[in-house]
Amino acid sequence: MLLRKPDFYDSFKCIASRCSDTCCIGWEIDVDEASQEVYRNVAGVFGDKLRTNIEDGHFKLLPHDRCPFLDRENLCEIYQNLSEGALCDICREHPRFVEVFGNIMERGLGLCCEEAARLLLAGDGPLVFTNEECDEPEDDLDDDDREIRDEVLNERERMFKTLASSSIVFTDKLKAIFGYTGESPFFPLESAHDVYELLAKTESFGPAWDEVLARIKLRIGDASDFSASALPEGEDHFSETESERLLAYLIYRHYAKCLFEGREQGKLYFALFFWNVARFFARELGGKINAIKMLSRQLEYCEDNMVLIESMLEKLITEYQNKL
């Protein structure tokens, strides 16, 4: 099987206690059966703690949704007592994800992780992907499905090449891929208010998102326009290279899933939507790294939210194209 990965994938390493928003707080943590079997056989006081804090296949979270094995320094007690190999699947793999398209496997890092977001933006050139052989079982695809898959992946590759091209100016890249000319900063939505209304319909992951949404609402109420002059400067500003890498990565993660889920245009324009929200509201979201992390957690990690956003974008693009 062919394994594809983004250029920063192998550089990732959890930064543990240095993370400002640990994934051991605020997430439901599933404990797979194999790990539960290991934990059933751990002796002593720590073994008792393990067994006491597992219920219905999950760790029983403490107040504020804190993992019971996260110590005062935000380090994992399971890792410290039993080694990395004893971590349950979700703790060992997060924020990694995998998609399989027949004899092609694609891996990546979820941008809800601030270190993954940092590595993505830290690249000094276009986002590229490595290809290598791996010994994993293939998914069966008949000839018709394989042909459709290849068409989708070839179209996606065309987008990657456009974003990576040094001979095409950035605005022309946006036009070639999205038909986006910049006349409406939040295309295909019409205004910042429309963006807020759409975000407000999503299911909140918790108080941190509610606070962000309140700041966005306040910014919209205070701002007279949302032209390019309204974009943040300094450390909150996305460079063209950062923008190209982020757009390419979002297309990489979502576009080919139209093979299973449909909403092809919605999945494509999700990348543009995400980028526009992140760059216009970077300050409200705590800077560009935090903006990516917060939006990823709120949107990409909730299936209902993704269906909502993609369906709305699909509808708006269809209406726009019908007017042309």
Does residue 292 contact residue 260 with C-beta atoms inside 8 Å? no
pLDDT tens digits, 161-213: 999 999 999 999 999 999 988 778 899 999 999 999 999 999 999 899 999 99
Q: What is the mean pLDDT of residues 128-155?
A: 93
pTM reported for the whole predicted model: 0.91
Give the pLDDT band of residue 223 (cuts 50, 70, 90): low
Element (H, E) at 258: helix 258-261
232 or 55: whose pLDDT is higher? 55
Does residue 269 contact residue 306 with C-beta atoms inside 8 Å? no
Mean pLDDT, the chain, whole residue set = 92
Distances from the Cα of 166 to the Cαs of 125, 141, 160, 211, in angstroms? 10, 36, 12, 40
173 or 222: whose pLDDT is higher? 173
> Is the sign of the CA dihedral 153, 260, 292, 16 positive or negative?
negative
Q: What is the mean pLDDT of residues 265-293?
A: 95
DSSP state of 247: H
DSSP state of 66: B
Nearest 5 degrees, angle CA 177-CA 181-CA 184? 120
Does residue 51 contact residue 68 with C-beta atoms inside 8 Å? no
pLDDT tens digits, 68-89: 999 988 889 999 999 888 899 8
Q: What is the pLDDT of residue 16?
A: 79
Question: Can you tell me whether residue 120 is helix, strand or coil?
Answer: helix
Provide the residue type at 269 as one letter: Y
pLDDT tens digits, 18-35: 888 788 888 889 999 999
Give the pLDDT band of residue 97 (cuts 50, 70, 90): very high
Q: What is the mean pLDDT of residues 237-250?
A: 96
Distances from the Cα of 309 to the Cαs of 38, 125, 132, 239, in angstroms? 40, 30, 34, 25
Which are the contacts of 209, defined by CB distance < 8 A and separation ≥ 6? 294, 297, 298
